[in-house]
Structure 1
Amino acid sequence: MIEPHFGEIGIAEYIANRRVDASMDFDAPYSRKGSYSIKHDGLEEIFGLTGEDLLPLWVADMDFPSPPVVQAAIIKRAEQGAYGYVGGYQPQYKDIVSAWFAGRQDLHVDKRAFLVSDTIVAGINRMIRTFTQEGDKVIIQTPVYPPFHRAVINNNRELVYNPLKKTAAGYEMDYDDLSTKIDDKCKLLIFCSPHNPVGRVWRIEELERLWEICSRHNILIISDEAHADIVYSGNKHINFLNVAAQAKESVIVCTSPHKTFNMAGLHISNLIIPNEYLRHAYVRMLTREGYARPNIFALVACMAAYGQAAPWLDELLVYLEANRDFIARYLAREMPQIGYYKPEGTFLAWLDFSAFGLAGDKLQECILRQAKVVLNAGAMFGVEGNTFMRLNFACPRAQIERALERIKNALYCKVQ
Structure 2
Amino acid sequence: MKYSFDEKVDRIGSNCLKWDLINRTYNDSEIIPLWVADMDFKVPEEIGDAIRKRLEHPIFGYSLTPPSYYKAAINWFDKRFQWKVEKEWMKFAPGVVPGLKTIVAAYTKPGDEIIIQTPVYHPFYSIIKNNGCQVVENTLTCKDGRYEMDFDNLEKIITKKTKMIILCSPHNPVGRVWTVEELKMVGEICIKNNVLVVVDEIHADIVYKPNIHTVFASINEEFANNSIICTAPNKTFNIAGFKTANIIIKNEKLRNQYILQMEKDCIEGATTLGAVAQEAAYTSGEEWYQGLMEYLAGNIDFTLEFFDKRIPKIKIRKPEGTYLLWLDCSGLNMKPEELSNFFLKKCKVWLNDGSMFGHDGAMFQRMNIGTSRVVLQEALERIEREVNKL
TM-score, normalized by the shorter chain, greater than 0.5: yes
User: Which of 331, 337, 344 in structure 2 is aligned with 1:361?
Assistant: 337
Aligned counterparts of 1:290 and 1:109: Cα–Cα separation in 2:
25
Is the 8 Å Cα contact of residues 255 and 269 (structure 1) preserved in structure 2?
yes
Please tell me whether the aligned partners of residues 51 and 273 of structure 2 are also in contact (alpha carbons under 8 angstroms). yes
Q: Deviations over 1:324-370 (max 9, x none)?
A: 11111111100112110111110001001001112422000100000
1:36 and 2:3 matched: no
The one-letter amino acid paired with 2:199 is: S
SS at match of 1:116: strand
**1:107 aligned to 2:83?**
yes
Quote the Cα distance in structure 2 between the aligned partners of 1:68 and 1:361.
Answer: 43
> How far apart, in 1, do the equivalents of 2:310 and 2:331 lie?
14
Q: Tell me, yes or no, if structure 1 residue 152 matches structure 2 residue 134.
A: no
Taking only aligned residues, the RMSD between alpha carbons, in angstroms, comes to 1.1
SS of residue paired to 1:390: strand
AA paired with 1:85?
Answer: Y
For residues 169 and 146 of structure 1, do their structure 2 counterparts lie closer, same or farther at Cα, with a shift above 3 Å needed?
Answer: closer
TM-score, scaled to structure 2: 0.98
Name the CA distance, whole Å, in 1 between partners of 2:23 and 2:60.
33
Q: Which residue of 2 aligns with 1:3?
A: none
The residue that corresponds to 1:342 in the other structure is: 318
Which amino acid in 1 is paired with 2:320? Answer: E
Matched, 1:295 2:274: no
Q: Match for residue 71 of structure 1?
A: 48
Query: What does residue 23 of structure 1 align with?
Result: 2
Contact 1:366 1:411 in 2 (8 A): no
Query: How far off its partner does 1:276 sit?
Result: 0.3
Are 1:378 and 1:390, in contact at CA under 8 Å, matched by a contact in 2? yes
Over residues 33-85 of structure 1, what are the superposed CA-to-partner deviations in whole Å (9 max), with x where a residue is unaligned? Answer: 1111111011244xx31233110111101011111111111122122111011
Whole-Å Cα distance in 1 between the matches of residues 162 and 315 of structure 2? 34
Q: Following superposition of structure 1 onto structure 2, how do residues 17-416 of structure 1 map, counting pairs within 5 Å?
A: 23-45=2-24, 48-87=25-64, 89-168=65-144, 170-413=146-389, 415=390
Q: Give the partner amino acid of 1:376.
A: N
SS of 1:166 mapped into structure 2: strand
How many residues are aligned here? 390
Question: Runs ≥4 in structure 1, deviation > 6 angstroms?
Answer: none
Instruction: State how far apart, in whole Å, the 2-side matches of 1:51 and 1:143 are.
Output: 30
Q: Distance in 1 between matches of 2:235 and 2:294?
A: 16
Gaps of 5+ in 2: none
What is the deviation of 1:23?
2.5
- Alpha-carbon distance between aligned partners in 1 of 2:205 and 2:331, rounded to the nearest angstrom: 33
Deviation at 1:92, TM superposition (A): 1.9
CA distance in 1, matches of 2:226, 2:157: 20
SS of aligned partner of 1:317: helix
Identity value in percent: 39
Q: Structure 1: give runs of 5+ residues left out of the alignment.
A: 1-21
TM-score by length of 1: 0.92
Q: Does the 8 A contact of 2:77 with 2:85 survive in 1?
A: no
Residue 169 of structure 1: how far off its partner (Å): 5.1
Contact 2:355 2:362 in 1 (8 A): yes
Which secondary structure state, in structure 2, belongs to the residue aligned with residue 42 of structure 1? helix
SS in 1 for 2:46: helix
Q: Which residue of the partner structure matches residue 8 of structure 1? A: none
Letter in 2 for 1:38: L
Question: What SS class does the counterpart of residue 49 from structure 2 fall into?
Answer: helix
Q: Distance in 1 between matches of 2:345 and 2:28?
A: 12
**Aligned with 1:389: secondary structure?**
strand
- Name the SS for the 1:160 alignment partner: strand
* 1:290 CA displacement: 1.2
Contact 2:101 2:127 in 1 (8 A): yes
Farther-moved stretch of structure 1 (91-100 vs 200-209): 91-100
